[in-house]
Amino acid sequence: MRDGKVIGEGFHAEYGELHAERAALADCERRRENPTGATMFVTLEPCAHAGKQPPCTEAILAAGISRVVVASDDPSEKAAGRGLGILRDGGVEVELAAGEEATRARLLNQAFRKHSRTGLPLVTLKLAMSLDGRTAPPAGDSPWISGEQSRELVHRWRAESDAIAVGIGTVLADDPLLTARSPGARQPLRVVFDRQARTPLDSQLLATLGQSPVLVVVAPEADASALREAGTEILVADGIDAALAALGRRNVTSLFLEGGPTLANAFQAANQLDEARTFVAPVLLGGDTAVSRAGGADAGGPRTEAQPPPAGPSAVATGPVRQQPLSHTVETIGDDTLITARFKEW
């Protein structure tokens, strides 16, 4: 930015591609703007090490940027303030944001921050329920609880996530695609927690492997040879913690959980939920076959995951685990109410 005018913008679009700083400088070139003497605003401390891309600090110094305003630090081991020191040594004025701006930047980068600190993906649970706490309608009713605007938002969230996960109960009951159906959307890795390798070979997931890969998480004793031969990737993991660690090692930094009550309960019991986004629709479903959030005695409908074996390898919820959010927001999406609760901050 120079004299209040934006002369270039950029963001890190995909792993391995240009970082935000280099993308913004490339945009300056496209606009035929000279960045010398300009101020650069970044949400995350510029990197000072070489990885898939060269250090952003080198590009900033070479471009002649005179001032850099940084909204949040980079907590990764290779960064942690190094970039700021290099910029200052190079004569660049460095300013750190504070207050609400700094908080918003940290929240914007939660997936990156958690993966940098723990090696694990950020886990976000999505739920939709009726006013009487049902998470799926009775048999023969409309398959949707939330409204059209809410469903459009979910597809956007899918596209923003590295991976989307469900349990085998959802696959058997709904035969979902799990794709992001927004124009030009990036497709996430599709993950099924399937202890006994029961994912059907004729499922929509396997029929659409060309659109996005499918990874099936199985227990060590499972026979997943047929699924492997069909083209799915098999992850053998003894428990949710092990599965998340393996996903993190393949650079999955965000996992969007849409798996129903059993999978949700298992992740909650393992203390692996970072955030929950719950749509509450203004409708009463009732009925003995509508599925409740807990997947308990009234979970007899076709979409329940309470009756099959545990959703993930050794993923057994041994009892309710109460989690009080650090913060929460409430907003209206169409006719629905969206409650976003954040349980951890990284």
Identify the pLDDT of residue 289.
57
The more confident residue out of 166 and 302 is: 166
Tell me the residue type at 218.
V
Which tens digit of pLDDT belongs to each residue from 204-228?
Answer: 999 999 999 999 999 999 999 999 9
Q: Where do we find the tokens 């120079």?
A: 2
Q: Is the model's pLDDT at 317 over the cut of 70?
A: no
Q: Is 33 a catalytic residue?
A: no
Give strand pairing partners of 164.
Answer: 190, 256
For residue 14, give the nearest of 162, 213, 211 by alpha carbon: 162
The residues, any chain, with a CB within 8 Å of residue 104's CB and separated by 6 or more, are 71
Identify the pLDDT of residue 54.
93
Q: Is the model's pLDDT at 305 over the cut of 50?
A: no
Domains, the chain, ordered by start: 20-108 (3.40.140.10), 120-342 (3.40.430.10)
Identify the pLDDT of residue 141.
73
Which tens digit of pLDDT belongs to each residue from 35-51?
Answer: 999 999 999 999 998 87
Cα separation, 81 vs 120, in Å, equals 22
Q: Is the model's pLDDT at 312 over the cut of 70?
A: no
Q: Where do we find the tokens 């409740």?
A: 292
**Catalytic: which of 17, 21, 77, 93?**
21
Which tens digit of pLDDT belongs to each residue from 112-139?
Answer: 999 999 999 999 999 999 999 888 777 7
Which 3 state secondary structure label does DSSP give 145?
coil
- Give, in order, the Cα–Cα distances in Å from 236 to each of 11, 109, 167, 178: 35, 29, 15, 21
Cα separation, 109 vs 106, in Å, equals 5
Identify the pLDDT of residue 294.
46
Cα separation, 224 vs 233, in Å, equals 10
Percent of the chain with pLDDT over 90: 73
Average pLDDT, the chain: 88
